[in-house]
Structure 1
Amino acid sequence: MKKTFLAGALSIACLTGGFGLQANAQETVDVASFIHPKQAVAATKQVQSMTYQDLYKTLVIAKLAYEDKEMSVVATKNSITLKLSLQGLLKTNKMTAQEQKEFKELFGEVIQMKFTPSGNTFKAEVYAEGKWQALSDKDLNAFVGSMQEDDFKLKPGGYFTDTIGHWAEGYIQLLFQADIIKGTTSSTFNPNGQVTRGQLASMIFRASGLDVNKDYEGPATYKDLAKYPGAKEVAILEEYGLIDIFDGAKFEPYKPVTREEMAYVTASYLEAMEYDVSKVSKNNPFTDKNKMRKETVEAIGLLKQLGVVDGTNGQFNPKGNLTRAQFSKILTLTLMLVGDDE
């Protein structure tokens, strides 16, 4: 009999709930007044403790809270350029008409900043009053603080050189910080590599907040897991009914997962996390649904209606595979749904 899944991963899901600017209007209008979200802490302490790599990780995660037209982060191995629009700031920063006018006089419609490595940390510039100017420690501290949650500390590592500038870098970084994904090496992620069944199981397992020491009750029914390192994770997910789509005698952990298999497992995870799917249509609009396994049609429709998955030219390509970058986005959006629901 299948277990009832307990929502043990809400803390992971809710990790996606922050990272936006939380600024408050200030009386004195300067750079800090637009980006300072809370009481100032010692500027030198915060600025000096953050490396260029940590700044990169902070910015690409924060970017997830904004539309592309509101905030952009262009990163290379040697610099980071940030653009944050007034429209984006107004989402969380209460400004009077006068303050908005003064913002435009200083920065135009968009505040622009440049960050470059400098020793163990970085230097910052802001484009104001028609020229690039060094950003003061006070202003830099205010900006860095605005991009971080009070109770959130970046993990070491995760500066993947092959995701710098990648469209999915924010999703990848967020899942790395939540201990859901790992790199292929300490400095690479292989974003275009295909997701295997075993990798899918491992990421869903970690996102579920399950524990192999507490939740394992016996081996899976699959006959090919004796030497597979993630065998216990697979067994636990099978017990909870999250991977029923893999209904053969073998699990084949190193086989690339198909898009419809991924959708079924992801939708099962949503339901297991007690997300109320009854309020969402499961209408599947894809023109190739006749190529889908019967049990995946509603799962794919559900994720499409929730905005978690999409297709190309009206087709989902259910038998196709997906990349590690693509699934990073899908899983992040799924976690955000759970976090918002909570």
Structure 2
Amino acid sequence: MAGLHQIEWLLVTLIILYLVIIGAPDERSLGLLLTTVAYFGFSLVASRLHFFGDRQRWLLAIHTWVMIGFITWFLHNTEGASGPLTSLYLLAVVTSALTLGVLATMLQVVAIGACILLLFQLSGDSISAPEHLSLMSINLIAFLIVGYLTSALVNGIEVSNRMLIEMASQDPLTGLFNRRAFNDLVKPIEAMARRSRRPYSVVVIDMDGLKAINDAQGHVEGDRVIQLLADELKAHTRSSDLLARHGGDEFLIMLPDTDADGATRMLRRLLAAPDHEIPAISIGVACYPEHGESFDALFEQADQAMYISKGLGGNRVHVADRPDAPSGMAQGKGRTP
């Protein structure tokens, strides 16, 4: 993550500025410089190799623990826990809050408290002294507040992003994918099918009687019928199938690893469903590679086949370039309209 490495480089910059401006004990200056350079090299290599990916949370945790250890070692070799450099731990807290969440950050604040106690012990200072106790308390409270607020802010941003993605990809009436999201999801499935020459089917579905419902009963009832059909389509498709509302009363389905016969069998079951509240539907089917080499070509073929179904009276399935059968026969088993 770019932000993680930028924070680490800020840490290294602050330490180098301290060494240049304030200086370090003569006997430790070379060791401090070499260790700082080694830590910077570790951060640089990790960022270039993308070793700490978003999904490798345990590696991100190791990264923050290394940062805490480096800060503790530097404080031990300079002014200990009683100086202003103790605030460097804030960088580790922010790093954890940005990448690991609230719980991990709170645990790391506890670990930082243990490191501060260790620093006081190694320096020979008494933690029970009022000035040391108050300094440690103020620092830990500040670390907890910064860690919690940063984690909460990151979580809020993530929730907002997920909501925006859902709003951009879902049809608000049915909860199905919209056409834009459908097209994005189709691309990798289409590419995989072309590489392996595996079939897939494209299905276009359109209601036959929605206009009459809207005119006679109003658009609220029309919307309810669209939702009923969407629920029926969900019930008859697999989790691997892609289902979208194309617009109005038209729906799109992509059936991976399904030829025209397999798609027809599934659609027969849909037409035989007993829900009589849903008007009759016209269905068109096209299959790769039989009817085209691209999704766009298959969609055009399936759309034309759907209009053929509608022209023949509706309530049936028509496969592109295949003679149509009337409702209730080989290719379309109808419901009572």
TM-score, normalised by the number of residues in structure 2: 0.24
TM-score by length of 1: 0.23
Say which one has the larger Rg. Answer: 2
